[in-house]
Structure 1
Amino acid sequence: MSNKPRTALAVAGLSLGTALNPLNSSMIAVALVVLRADFGLDVAAVTWVVTSFYLASAAGQPVMGRLADRFGPRRMFLLGMGLVAITCALAPLAPNFALLCVARAVMALGTATAYPSAVVMVGTLAHQANVEAARPLGRLQMANTSAAAVGPVVGGLLVGFVGWESLFLVNVPLSLAALLIVARAAPPDKARERGSVAELVRDSDLPGIAGFIGALLLVMMAALNVAPDYRWPMLAGGTVLAALFAWRELRFAKPFLDLRLLGRNRPLMLVYLAFAVFSSVYYFVFFGLPQLLQEAGGYDPGVVGLLMLPLAGMSVVATPWAVAAMGRFGVRRVLLAGVVLLTVVAALMWVLTGTLAIPFVVVLTALMGIPYGTVGIASNQGMFVSTRPQDRGVAAGIYQTCRYVGAITATVMIGVFASGGVHQDSWMRMVLAMLVLCVVTFGISVFWRQQKA
C-alpha cells in the first residue's frame, strides 16, 4: 500500500478511536432515567455514571499524553482501544451500580489514550503523505464534533430498542475496528526511552501524576457539588494539593508536567485559556438548549436530539473550510474570525427568549456549528504549532482537559442561572453569560501569535 492510501486509512482509524470519548460522554445522557429505574437510584446518585466518566477523562488525558510521548503513541493507542473493548464487553454484567461507574471510569481512561496519541502520530503521517498537519487534525476534529453531537440521537435509539447495556456493547466493535486499522496502517513507534523498570518508575514522576490527578479530582468534584456537605473542604484540599504539585514540578528534574516550559511557552498557555473559555460557551448551548426545548418548549427528547444535529452537520462543513483558510490567512486570523462569529451567534440566541419554533432552533443550532468547527480546529492547530514534537502528547492531553474544564464550568453556571428551571427568563441570563465569555475568549486570542515552542 502506498503512502497516501495508508495515511488516509491510519487517519480514519485514529479518527474512529478519538470519537469514542465524546460519543460516550454525550449518549449516556438519555439512559439516566432507565438506569435510575433498573438500579433503584435517586437523581443525585445516578449522576455518578456521568461524573465518573468526566473526572477520569479530565485526569487521564494529560497522563495518557505523557505516556504516549514516553513509550510511543501507536503502542498507547492500541493499548487504550484494547482496554475499551474488554471493559465494554464486561460492563453489562456489572452486578451493581458502583461497579458500573468503575467500568465507565476505566472506559474513559481507555478512550483518553486516543486523542493525545493521535496528535503525536499526525506529524509523522502528514510528513509521509506530504500534506499540512492541519488536514489530518481537521479530520480528528470533525470526528470528535460529530460524535459528541450525534451521541444523544444514537443513545436514544440504542436505549429505546435494546437497553442501556447497548451503550457499552456498541463500543466493542468500534474500538476493535480502530485497533485493527491503526495496527495495520499507522507507522511503528520511533525508539523511545529505554531502561530498567525501576529506572522508568523513578523517572516517571508518579508523585507528580498523583498530585495532578488528586487536585483535579477534588476541584472538579467540588465544582460539580457531588458531595454537598464536603464541597468547601474538597475545594480547599484541591487548592492545597495543586500548590504542592506546582512546587514539586518546578523542582523535579524530569517532571510529568513541565511548568517551567509552560511558563516560557506563552502561545501554548494562551491557546489553553482561550479554548477552555470557548468550550464553556459551546457547552452552554450543548447542555442548556436541550433542557430549554424540553422544559419550556415541551418537545420530546427524541425531537430535541434531532434538533441538535444541524450543529454537527455545519461543524463538519466548517472544519475543512477553516483548514483551507488557515493555509491562506494563517491560524490567528481564522481563530479571531471564528470567535467574532461565535459572539454574533451567541447574541442571536436571544431570539429563543421570544420563540422556540423549530425553524428558529434549526437555524441557530446550524449557525453555532460554524464557529464551533472554526475555533475548534484553529485552537487545535495553534496548540500543535506551539509545541515541540516530543511534547505534543502531553500537550494534547492537557488541551482535552481544557475542554472538560469548559464543559464542567458551563454545567455549574447553568445550575446557578437556572436554579428554578431552564425557561426563557433563565435562558436570557445564560445568553448574557455567553456573551461575556465570548468577549473574554476574544481578548485572550488577540494576544496569541504563531511561533514554534
Structure 2
Amino acid sequence: MIAVALTTLRREFSVDVATVTWVITVFYLTSAVLQPLMGRLADRYGAHRVFTFGMIVVAIAGATGPFAPSLEWVCVARVVLAVGTAAAFPSAAALLRSLAPRGGFDAARIIGRIQLIDTSAAAIGPVVGGALILAAGWEAVFWINVPLAALAIVSTRVLIPRDEPRDRVPLRRTLSESDIPGLVAFAATVAATLMFLLALPDGPEWPLLAVAVVACALFAWREPRARVPFIDLRLLAANLPLVRVYVLFVIANVVLYGTLFGIPQYLEEDASYSTAIVGVMLVPLAAFNAVLARPIERLIDRWGVRRTMLAGGAGLVVATAALPLLALSPQWWIVLLVMAAVGIPYAFVLISLTQSLYRTAPPAIVGQAAGLFQTARSIGCISAAAVVGLSFSGSVGADDWIVLSLVVAAAALVLAVTMAATGRPAGARAA
C-alpha cells in the first residue's frame, strides 16, 4: 500500500524522493533486524502469544500513524508497524512446526507457501492503497491496519491452539542471551551505507562511509564470538549453496521492488495517472505468484529447480529490457503488459528460490534459514529504495525513469548471470 502513497506523502510534506524513501527503508530495516529476535521470543514464550503481541502493536501503529505531523513522525509510525509485523513470519513458522506432527503436513513446504503469500499480497496492496488514498487520503493506509490486526487476533484465537505451558523466563535474560551488539552493528552498517548513497547527488559524505565500514567490521568480528549470533556467519560459510540462494534473493527483490516503488511515482508525476489507477496497473507485477504457484511447482518436478530458475532469470532479463519503453509511451495497456512481463518470470524465480532454500538448508536449521530468507528480502527492498531515491534525486520524469529502469534491467542481468554461473544446487534433481 505504501508504494502508491509515496507521491502523496511527498506532496503532503514537501519532501524529495530520496527523503520519502525513508518511509520504506525504516520499515524494512526494522523488520530485518527484529525478525530473528522475534523468532527467539516465539520459541521461548510461545508463538501464539508473540503473534498476538505483534498484531496489537500493528493496531497501535495504525491508530496513531494518521496523526503524524511530519514525515519524520510517519517514519516513526512505520518503525512501530515493523515491530509488530516482524513477529508475524517467525511466529507462523514456529506455530507450523508445532502443528505439523498432529496435522500430518510438511511444515517446510507450508512455510514456503506463506512466503509466497507474503509476496503475492503485494498484488492486492497497491489496489487497496490506491482506493483508500483516493477516498480518505494517505492516513487511510494506516487506519486499515487496525481492523486487519483485529481480524488476525480473533482468527488466530479461534483457529490456532493456545501455546503449551512452558517455564517462565525473564525477558531480561532472553535479551541478554540475544546478540544485541551484533543486531546494532548490522543496523548501523545498513543505515550508514544507505545515508551515504542517498547523499551522493549532493556530494559524498565520507564520515558516513567510515561509520558503515567500522560498523561492518564490528559486525564481522562480533558474530563468530556470539553464543547465539544475530546472523550465523559460520553456518553460512559452511553452506555456500545456501549463501547463493540468499544473494540471488536479494538481487531478485531489487528487480521487483525497484519496479514496484519506482513506477507509481513516475506514472503519477510524469504521466498524470491517478493513484487508484496506478494501483490497479501494478496488479500483474505480483499477482502471478499466487496464480502460477502450483503450475511452477509441477514444472520444477519435471525440469528441476535449476532449469526452472534459469528460465525465470532469462525471462526477467527480457522483461526488464522493456521497462525503458514506458518513457516513450506510458499508455495503460502497455504498462499492464510490461508489469505482467516482469511478474511472470519473477514468479518462476521466487518459487524456485524458495524450494532451493529448503533443499539446501539442513533440516535442523530450516527455521533459522527461513528467517534469514526474510532478512534477504528486506535487504533487497532497502537496496531497491536506495536505487529509486538515487534515480529520482533530481526530478521524476521520463529521463529519470529510463535511468531507474536501466538499473533494474542491469540487476536482472546480474541475477541471470549469477544463476547460470552457480553449480547445480543440492537436491535440485527432478523429483
Shorter-chain TM-score: which interval? Answer: 0.7 to 0.9
Residue in 2 that maps onto 1:166: 140
1:108 to 2:82 alignment: yes
Q: Are 2:7 and 2:268, in contact at CA under 8 Å, matched by a contact in 1?
A: no
Structure 1 unaligned blocks of 5 or more = 1-22
1:222 to 2:199 alignment: no
Describe the SS at the equivalent of 1:255: coil
Quote how far apart the aligned CAs of 1:296 are: 4.5
- Give, in whole Å, the separation in 1 of the partners of 2:83 and 2:201: 23
1:450 to 2:422 alignment: no
Quote how far apart the aligned CAs of 1:106 are: 1.0
Offset from partner CA, 1:89-131 (integer Å, 9 cap, x none): 3334556654443222111111112123323444555555444
Quote how far apart the aligned CAs of 1:263 are: 1.0
Q: 1:362 to 1:95 in 2, by over 3 A?
A: closer
- Give, in whole Å, the separation in 2 of the partners of 1:31 and 1:168: 14
Residue in 1 that maps onto 2:34: 60
Residue in 1 that maps onto 2:117: 143
- Give, in whole Å, the separation in 1 of the partners of 2:337 and 2:178: 49
TM-score normalised according to structure 1 size: 0.80
1:342 to 2:319 alignment: no
Amino acid at match of 1:174: L
Let me know the Cα RMSD of the aligned residues: 3.4
Describe the SS at the equivalent of 2:228: coil
Q: Are 1:76 and 1:113, in contact at CA under 8 Å, matched by a contact in 2?
A: yes
1:74-89 equivalent positions in 2, closer than 5 A: 74-89=48-63
Residue in 2 that maps onto 1:241: 215
- Give, in whole Å, the separation in 2 of the partners of 1:120 and 1:375: 26
- Give, in whole Å, the separation in 2 of the partners of 1:88 and 1:130: 37
Query: How many pairs are equivalent?
Result: 425
Residue in 2 that maps onto 1:384: 358
Structure 2 unaligned blocks of 5 or more = none
- Give, in whole Å, the separation in 1 of the partners of 2:341 and 2:332: 14
Quote how far apart the aligned CAs of 1:435 are: 3.6
Amino acid at match of 2:352: A
Quote how far apart the aligned CAs of 1:196 are: 5.6
Residue in 2 that maps onto 1:29: 6
Residue in 1 that maps onto 2:338: 364
Offset from partner CA, 1:352-388 (integer Å, 9 cap, x none): 3543333222112112221222222222232234334
Amino acid at match of 2:425: R
Quote how far apart the aligned CAs of 1:67 are: 3.5
Q: Are 1:279 and 1:407, in contact at CA under 8 Å, matched by a contact in 2?
A: yes
- Give, in whole Å, the separation in 2 of the partners of 1:419 and 1:85: 34
- Give, in whole Å, the separation in 1 of the partners of 2:230 and 2:52: 22
% identical aligned pairs: 39
Moved over 6 A (4+): 190-194, 226-230
Q: Are 1:249 and 1:256, in contact at CA under 8 Å, matched by a contact in 2?
A: yes
Q: 1:52 to 1:437 in 2, by over 3 A?
A: closer
Offset from partner CA, 1:309-332 (integer Å, 9 cap, x none): 222333321223223333444333
Query: Which moves more between the two structures, 351-360 or 219-228?
Result: 219-228
1:225-304 equivalent positions in 2, closer than 5 A: 225=199, 231-304=205-278
Query: Which moves more between the two structures, 344-353 or 233-242?
Result: 344-353
